[in-house]
Structures are given as C-alpha cells and as structure tokens.
Copies of this chain bind each other. A is one copy, B any other.
Amino acid sequence: MSTCETCVVRNRAICAGLERDELALLNAIGRRRTVTAGESLIWEDDDSLLVANVIEGVLKLTTSTEDGREQIVGVAYPADFIGRPFGQTSRASVVALTDARVCVFSRNDFDRFAREHPELEHKLLERTLSELDRTRSWMMLLGRKNAAEKIATFLLEMSERLAETGCTPAFGPADRFALPFSRQQVADVLGLTIETVSRQFTRLKNEGVIDLPSRREVEILDRPALKALAG
C-alpha cells in the first residue's frame, strides 16, 4: 500500500492533487529517508542528483565562499521541495537543522515523472514562484536593513513560519517558539556576525520586547514594537 496515502504533508506538498494511481507511481520512484540534525543531504557543487520533499523537520540551504564565509539562502520546512530539477545544478548545500524526514527521488526519475504530470509541475511552479517572492524580500533585508531591523524581521518571520508548521492549525503567528537555529545560523541567515546577533537579542530582551527563556526559545512580548523595529 502506498505510504504517500498516509503522508502528513500529503495535502500541502507538490504531490497534492495527484490521483491515486499517479501517487502509486510516484511512490514507486521515491523513498523515505531520515536525516539527523547537522547531516548533509546535498553538498555544494556536487551535481546533486537528488530532489526531495520535506516531510518533517527543518533544513537549511547554504552557499559558501572559498574562504569559508557562509550565507543561508533558504530554509525548507515540511511540505517544501528541495533540489534542482531539470538539468541545471545549483550551487547550494542542504543540511538538516533538526532531525528530519524527507521523501527523496533521483533527479532523473523525478524529471521524467514531472514532465508526464502537468498537475505536479504546476504545483512545483506555484511553490517556486512563492519561494522566489520570499527570497526577493529577503534581498531587501540583506541589502538595505540594519542589524536591529534584520533581527526584528527575522523573529517575526520565524513566528509565522513555525506556526504554519505547528500542530495547532494556524491560529495566527506563534508568540512563543523554539528556534531551529543556533546564534551562528541566525547570523548566517541575516548576513551578520554571531556577536551582533547576540547583542541585538539581549538589547530586545532588556527593552522588554522579547523574552529568551532558554538559548533556543523566544517569546514575543510586544509584537507591535517588534513590527515597528522591523521597518
């Protein structure tokens, strides 16, 4: 029996909308995999022969310069699609931030299946267009916002995206959540250093805008203030 049928992201991932028999075919070429926190799924510059759907967990997409500077260029949550179909190979690594479960396909298999199923390609197109929108608004942040605005924007986005994922079906953004990022990783998302991130966090805490119950937890105490700071 198809494992797709019981998949938790069944209705949100790009496979949504496929017929029962199509799903069986897709299921035949894919396989489930777990990735432990810190483990790589795709390495920068290997001609990544994998694509995947995220079932559970959070993964980062990163690019690096030769001298070791890193930039996180995307974050994949459950139901998100990972990898670069159709011939091209993009220079980004994919690394799990939390333990994760993914549904992987060989790129060739996926390419072939996609071309034969326009409905799937359409879903992938919509998802890619949304991701491009999100990425472009992140360019604004990277190019034009200062450290305080970056941190505020980041916290607001986290509270929204983690809520979408959460068990409780989207009763607005979460006011309290566990960051899937270390301080260094937050820095790599925002184009800052770990020290600047730390200082901005404590500043927001001292001003009563947020609370930091533990290293990885954040509670938003004054959302309007945070929105004002985000610019």
Are A140 and B88 closer than 8 Å at their CB atoms?
no
Sorted nearest first, the 9 A-B pairs with minimum C-beta distance are: A143-B191, A118-B118, A142-B142, A73-B136, A71-B140, A69-B144, A71-B143, A90-B133, A125-B125
Q: Which residues of B contact A63 (CB under 8 A)?
A: 136-137, 139-140
A231 within 8 A of B: yes
Contact of A128 among B70, B128, B138, B190 (CB under 8 A): B128
Q: State A145–B65 Cα separation when bound (angstroms).
A: 9
Taken together, the copies of this chain in the complex come to 2
Q: State A65–B90 Cα separation when bound (angstroms).
A: 30
Are B125 and A73 closer than 8 Å at their CB atoms?
no
A9 within 8 A of B: no
Q: State A132–B63 Cα separation when bound (angstroms).
A: 13
Q: Which residues of B contact A191 (CB under 8 A)?
A: 142-144
A124 within 8 A of B: yes
Q: Which residues of B contact A73 (CB under 8 A)?
A: 136-137, 139-140
Q: A143-B191, A144-B191 are in contact. Are A136 and B61 (CB under 8 A)?
A: yes
